Chains A and B, each alone.
Chain A
Amino acid sequence: MKFFSTLGSYFLMLKGMFTKPENFKMYWKELMHQCVEIGIGSLGIVSIISVFMGAVSAAQTAYQITNPLIPKTTLSQVVRDTVILEFAPTLVCIVLAGVVGSKIAGELGNMRTTEQIDALEIMGINTKSYLVAPKILGALMTIPLLVILAMFLGIWGGRLASVLTGIVSGDTYDRGLVSGFIAKNVWFALVKAYTFAFIISSIPAFYGYNVKGGALEIGRASTTAVVTSCILILFADYLLAAILL
């Protein structure tokens, strides 16, 4: 019963976002602020993770390819497809669920407990559209871009590791990258990125917005938000793979 009540509240929050802005300029400013917070704020961690996941992927694939009949270009094909299909959208989004999700839940939770949300409501501002909508839109605008960046950096990380350790030459790696490339995979990864971006932003926003109590509850809300987001990302990952591939 509680599950349906929570689900209903979540959809009501989403529905509540769709109202005419009191001042479009202020909403735009808040949206841009969120894009910077989510996009630029996560750039460092996404870059580091992407390069290393590409490098690890290359090293582990090379370790498993023992048959001399398998062409060396297979290595970069495997790295490319793994990074594009799974690592860049899913792994990066799971990390972002922790980084961005806890920040969104914490920020809104703090605003709720210190009555800042009430203050905005009393001014006549729709807090769902002013505080929640820019976070979701900001995530939808920046997270897919971060995923694209992660794809490039992941593949480059794989190349770097392969060349530096002498597994394959740069030319061989590059040849493998372009052979058997399926453009649909990128489209699929972007569908996943948009889906995960929505989960990463809306779930923590819901838990943060509805915090009741004090500092302890804000912490709990952040943890619940991150855990729920991660589970939903994995669930959606399977669902999308089963439907779209």
Chain B
Amino acid sequence: MIELKNIEKGFGDKQILKGVSAVMETGKTNLIIGTSGSGKTVLQKCMVGLFEVDNGEILYDERNFSAMPEDERKELRQQIGMLFQGSALFDSMTVEQNVKFPLDMFTNWDHKKKVNRVNEVLERVNLTGSNKKYPAEVSGGMKKRVGIARAIVLNPKYLFCDEPNSGLDPQTSMVIDLLIKEITTEYNMTTVINTHDMNSVMEIGENILYLFEGEKEWVGNNKEIIFSKNSKLNTFIFASEFLRDAKDMRMLEEKGIIDNDRNMEDILKDPEANLLMGDNDKREAI
């Protein structure tokens, strides 16, 4: 579990994070969502130590990361895996060498054991047989999977993913999302994902933190987000007419207004349905 207590971070005069507190739960996919510039990347970089917080505490299973001496931090970082937006694979190394790199650096295993472990994780991310390819020779989705394989090769306790779906088509995005979710459950990791992909939010959002202008605006999960009355969140999540309609339908379904025995005319006459499908104010009134 990762606990954030009143995190503040600024650059010069600009305050990016304004006292964010949250809990990232173990064995769950914890999503940080928000518009561009809301501070989610800065928050994640603070959590992994790429930025130092100005104020507040980051607790990794009750160990205060922000106040740790460098040696202890180094040790903790070996339990952290991270998938970067652009995958951040080492260009001069093959897929196998990329995944093997953390093993070369931090274990005393023999070559055979390392290669076995690499093959095991590559198989887990469905990349069997790609060992000898270079990052330039594989697709965007494959790069992400190599990134995931490298991040989990040391069996980390914490996994961070920065925009794992950026630049991917919706179908591949879904595959990556589900892979991250499966791995999180399988390895019982604390996974923190930065995203503004609504498919990810709906599919794998077990614990969602919504940031608005550097402040915690809303916390919940993908079930609760449908019924949220937070107007800022609704404007962000259901930005298009299509998504607003989809939300209405899901709400009507959940409330039992839509079922197989009722036709659309009946539904439209239902005052509750009218209220639900009305404007934002009406939605919030329910």
A residues neighboring B (CB under 8 Å)? 22-23, 26, 110, 114-116, 118-119, 121-126
Contacts and interface: CB of A to CB of B under 8 A. Distances in A.
Contacts of B73: 124
A123 B48 contact: no
A58 to B, nearest CB: 42
A110 B85 CA distance: 15
Interface string B175-196: 0000000000000000000000
A23 B106 contact: yes
Contacts of B85: 115
Interface in B44-76: 48-50, 73-76
A23 B90 CA distance: 18
Contacts of A125: 105
B86 A115 contact: yes
A53 to B, nearest CB: 33
B50 A23 contact: no
8 contacts: A115-B84, A115-B88, A116-B88, A118-B84, A123-B77, A123-B106, A124-B74, A124-B76
A122 B105 contact: no
B78 interface: yes
B77 A23 contact: no
Interface in B97-135: 101-102, 104-106
A121 B102 CA distance: 12
B104 A26 contact: yes
Interface string B125-166: 000000000000000000000000000000000001000000
A208 to B, nearest CB: 15
A122 B104 contact: no
Contact of A122 (B48, B75, B106): B48
Interface of B is mostly: mixed
B105 A123 contact: yes
User: What is the size category of the interface that chain B forms with chain A?
Assistant: 20 to 34
Contacts of A122: 48-50, 77, 80, 82, 160
Tell me which of A22, A26, A123 has the highest count of chain B C-beta atoms within 10 A of its own C-beta: A123
A123 B49 CA distance: 11
B105 A22 contact: yes
A188 B2 CA distance: 58
Contacts of A115: 84-86, 88
Contacts of B88: 114-116, 118-119
A119 B88 CA distance: 7
B48 to A, nearest CB: 5
B105 A26 contact: yes
A125 B70 CA distance: 11
Given A114-B88, A119-B88, A124 B77 contact: yes
Contact of B104 (A23, A110, A116, A124): A23
B78 A121 contact: no
Contacts of B106: 22-23, 123-124
Contacts of B80: 122, 124
Given A118-B84, A118-B88, A124-B106, 5 more contacts: A22-B106, A116-B88, A116-B89, A118-B50, A125-B105
Nearest to A117: B88
B84 A119 contact: yes
A115 B84 CA distance: 7
Contacts of B77: 121-124
A43 B40 CA distance: 48
Nearest to B82: A122
Nearest to B81: A122
A23 B74 CA distance: 13
A126 B160 CA distance: 20
A124 B160 CA distance: 14
Contacts of A118: 50, 84, 88
B82 A23 contact: no
A175 B220 CA distance: 89
A233 B106 CA distance: 39
A22 B70 CA distance: 13
B102 A123 contact: yes
Tell me which of B80, B91, B105 has the highest count of chain A C-beta atoms within 10 A of its own C-beta: B105
A114 B86 contact: yes
A129 to B, nearest CB: 12
B267 to A, nearest CB: 50
Contacts of A121: 49-50, 77
Contacts of A110: 91
Contacts of A116: 88-91
